[in-house]
Structure 1
Amino acid sequence: MMLTLSTNNKLGFIDGFIHVPAPNAVEYKFWERCNDLVISWLLLNLEESIVKSVLFMRTAREIWLDLEERFGYASIAQVYSLEQQLAEITQGQDSVSEFFTKIKTLWDGVNDVSHLSHCTCNACTYNLTQRLQQKQQEHGVLQFMMKLSDTFAAVRGNVLMMQHLPNIAQTYRLFAQEERHKELSNITSQTEAMAFVADRRRFPNQSQDQRNYFKSNVSATQNRFNNSGVNAKRGTKPNYFCTHCKISGHSVERCFKIHGYPPGFQARQDKKFAALSQSSQNDF
């Protein structure tokens, strides 16, 4: 209401700055018209039960003083209600901006009904008012961070590690930036997930094809490994041979033709050992 009166240059009608002119004065008609205009604004902003109690007052100044006398004070019940709301308020599902608006509204209400003490001397050397305002700012910062959700625990810890706490506006910007960063991260994650789902819909058998491909590769590798083991058993010829009988598989130090056959030796029935046996009998 004060803003409306101020923007229309009508505050003088309620604060007593504009006095009532004499009825026979030239400006009385102009004052009377402006006074009636201010009264209409006041009545439109009052409840019906209150309007009846000030309806017959003649000046806007009289109405304003009557309303100020009845309602222009802060009761303990109002302070209690505001403090209770501050104690119970939490962020919940609200954004940082929405929650800050709610808690700041309660702070302004408390400050309005219980004014901050201040020093009235002109030569104060203790800066009492400044210190009280700083304490009030620190209390607001701590209260704001306590009411936020646990998703901001990291930022809260960083703020508490500071040597001097930032003011309320700076603290709000820190948490608002962190919230914006989390939103961008979630958008990026959702975009990647949607792209993955789109690929799965476009190639529904891709995973099965990949499994078949890996199975075939594993089978081929196992077959090559098994074949190489069989060939190793059945084997490739050793790279050493006897210089006496020119037969591979043993050295000259272990050649039977030179050192003799062991007792009970039975030669294998193949061409190599048959020729070896025959040559051995001819030599002896």
Structure 2
Amino acid sequence: MWRAANSMIVGWIQTSIDPKLRSTVSFIAEASTLWESLRSRFSVGNGVRKQVLKDEIAECKQNGQSVLEYYGRLSKLWEELQHYKTGRQCTCSAAPDIAKEREDDRVHQFLFGLDLPRFSNRRSTITGEDPKPPLTQVFSRVIRKEQNLNVARSKETTKTEVPPQAAGVSAPRFRDRSTLSCTHWRCQGHDVSECFQLHGYPEWFFEQKGGPRSDISQPNRSVQRGGRPTRGSGRSRGRVNTARMVSPSDTGNNQITQLINLLEAQRSNTSSEKLSGPFFKYFDWSR
């Protein structure tokens, strides 16, 4: 039974050794001898490691990480340092005070490692309390503060990055026309691609001017003899094209004949009067 137990323990020790070091360990049949050999070779004093851990805890800062990640790093260092300390526990009446003092030290280490100025107000508030709250409550309060800061930052980012159309704000629909100039009509406010003299007057133009009896006198609004309107004389571009498509074979139409008679009568009355009344009243431009 002893040989079976000894062989099992030797196997446990051999399999627990790092593979890189396993080849450097000679085979020893007895477990106790093997254990003492390993202890003498790899045992290192804990004093240096304890000091290194204390320095790492003092230098542990948040440095832009989340509070959860920062607290996790700090907790691992605290846990490892506790393993190197003695396992004896104090049972005297001073035990609660010693435990409270140790926890207050951890609270200060945690608070003074937070990023400034994000948590400066929260740190000042907690450090000013007496007695200090437990570490778990301090962690919870800092987490809530971080969540509020993240929500405020996300709202500011949304307002900055989202364009007015995506945010529900209608963009301006008018452009600055003060710099536009028409090379055909030689006036400001539009360019040649939008000139009504060349492309015809839209429907809304006469509606804004009070109907078809517009008082605007422009050369291209005159009507040629024979009843065919020139370019730009209609109320809209579409209607101008319709009037220009009248063929000579339609001269016998009653409306064309009536139009010619109206033109002759209008010309005989006065040469300066503009064609604005009967012309638009009796002629059906929709045909």
TM-score (norm: length of structure 2):
0.51
- Cα shift at 1:114: 2.9
Please say if residues 89 and 147 of structure 1, whose CA atoms lie closer than 8 Å, have aligned partners that are also in contact: yes
> CA offset at residue 146 of structure 1?
0.5
Picking from 102, 111, 132, the partner of 1:136 is 102
**TM-superposition CA deviations, 1:128-185 (whole Å, max 9, x none):** 2322121111001001101111111121122123222122222212112211221122
Cα distance change on mapping 1:69 and 1:168 into 2, 3 Å: farther
Calculate percent identity across the aligned residue pairs. 18
Matches within 5 A, 1:1-284: 21-23=1-3, 28=4, 31=5, 34-35=8-9, 37-43=11-17, 45=18, 47-48=20-21, 51-60=22-31, 62-72=33-43, 74-115=45-86, 118-119=89-90, 124=92, 126=93, 128-150=94-116, 151-199=118-166, 203-205=170-172
Q: Which has the higher helix share?
A: 1
Corresponding residue number in structure 1 for 2:283: none
Gaps of 5+ in 1: 1-20, 210-284
RMSD (Å) for aligned C-alpha atoms: 3.2
One-letter amino acid of the counterpart of residue 27, structure 2: F
Deviation readout 1:92-119 (Å, 9 max, x if unpaired)? 1211111111111221222222337643
Number of residue pairs matched by the alignment = 175
- Give the secondary structure class of the aligned counterpart of 2:130: coil
Asked if 2 retains the 8 angstrom alpha-carbon contact of 1:39 and 1:59, the reply is: no
Conserved? CA contact 1:117–1:129, under 8 Å: no
| Contact 1:74 1:114 survives alignment (8 Å) | no
Contact 2:64 2:115 in 1 (8 A): no
Q: Which moved more, 1:59-68 or 1:167-176?
A: 59-68
Kept in 1: contact 2:58–2:109 (CA 8 A):
no
TM-superposed deviation, 1:200: 8.3
* Aligned partner letter, 1:104: S
Higher Cα Rg, which structure:
1
Structure 2 residues not aligned, in runs of 5+:
177-287
Q: Which amino acid aligns with 1:139?
A: D
Change (3 A) 1:89 1:53: same
Residues of 2 paired with 1:184 and 1:59: CA distance? 64
How far has the Cα of 1:63 moved from its partner?
A: 3.9
